[in-house]
Amino acid sequence: MSTMAPPTIHPVHQQHDQPGIPLARIVRVELRKMFNTRSGFWLIASLVILGVVATIGTILFAPDEQLTHNTFAAAIGFPMTIVLPIIAILAITGEWSQRTGLTTFTLVPDRRRVLLAKTVASVVVGIASMLVALVVGVVGNVVGTAITGTDLVWDLSAAQFGTIVIGSLLCLLTGTMLGMVIRSSPGALVTYFVLALVLPTVFGILAANQPDFVDVRPWVDAELARSFLFEGPPASGEQWAQVAVTAGLWLVLPAVLGLRAVLRSEVK
């Protein structure tokens, strides 16, 4: 009587983990999320609209001798420093305010990659907006001088445009930081306007009433330090140092704390 051989058990091949979602794809998704709502679309469109309004206002109200490329760039840059941080804030806080965080962090469990993608997407929008503003400024300079009959003046150097980009990106990243620290759209927006408007006023009052604070202020007032970047390349290494110190104090340190809070917080 023959015995049946025991069935051969083939080893189960361990399946390799599927590769993670590429960062570029996550960035594209975040860019799409910025545009695919009516409010998001009009918020980003407002950058162009405000640039055109600022250009028209400069042509109408600026003295003829001040119709230069630098003047148009400054006029267009002011509303951008207000709107870009708001875009960055909403890009971060949307996961909590709109309760999409559970879905997002389930699809991409590494929250650091999600935050990195949101930051990159905001920076892309910011740089693209500044390039559009540069073009609008060129058109405004040409049209404005043609209307008034003044000479064309191209006084915005590449170095000055570069420092404007750096200053604008620091403003934008401040919005990213506030989004990570607070994770609530209303709270982050209110805090941003406090940092941008109220705190510099307090520092100004202190400097006016406390002479010893005058020399300290550029090292603690981020808005004052960043203003050097919008006025042209800083004239000294000390001004660059003040930009770096205030960025570390008001941007890098809170961002590290905010990142830690995001990684540890419970998503509902």
The predicted model gives 221-233 an average pLDDT of 86
- The mean pLDDT of 129-137, rounded to a whole number, is 87
The pLDDT mean for the chain works out to 86
Q: Which residue has the higher pLDDT, 95 or 119?
A: 119
Lowest-pLDDT range of 6-15, 24-33, 243-252: 6-15
Percent of the chain with pLDDT over 90: 44
Give the pLDDT confidence score for residue 172 in this predicted structure: 94
How far is it, in rounded angstroms, from Cα 123 to Cα 111? 18
Q: Which residue has the higher pLDDT, 95 or 113?
A: 113
Pair 66, 232: CB distance under 8 Å: no
pLDDT at position 48 = 85
Question: Per-residue pLDDT for 9 more than 90?
Answer: no
Pick the residue with more confidence: 203 or 10?
203
Of 163, 192, 194, which is closest to residue 179 (Cα–Cα)? 192
Please give the pLDDT value at position 38. Answer: 81
Please name which of 248, 105, 261 lies closest in space to residue 184, comparing C-alpha atoms.
261
- Per-residue pLDDT of 140-164, as tens digits, reads 989 988 888 888 888 888 888 888 8
pLDDT band with cut points at 50, 70 and 90 for residue 16: very low
Summarize the confidence of residues 214-243 as an average pLDDT.
87
Which of 137-146, 212-221, 257-266 holds the top average pLDDT?
212-221
The answer to whether 164 and 241 have CB atoms below 8 angstroms apart is no
CA distances from 1 to 4, 7 (A): 10, 18
Residue 254 — φ and ψ, nearest 5°? -65, -35
> What amino acid occupies position 50?
L
Q: Which two tokens stand for residue 212?
A: 């010893």
Instruction: Tell me the mean pLDDT in the region 230-238.
Output: 75
Q: Is the pLDDT of residue 92 over 50?
A: yes
What distance in Å separates the CA atoms of residue 151 and residue 157, rounded to the nearest whole number? 18
State residue 268's pLDDT score. Answer: 66
> What is the per-residue pLDDT for 5?
53
More confident residue, 139 or 234: 139
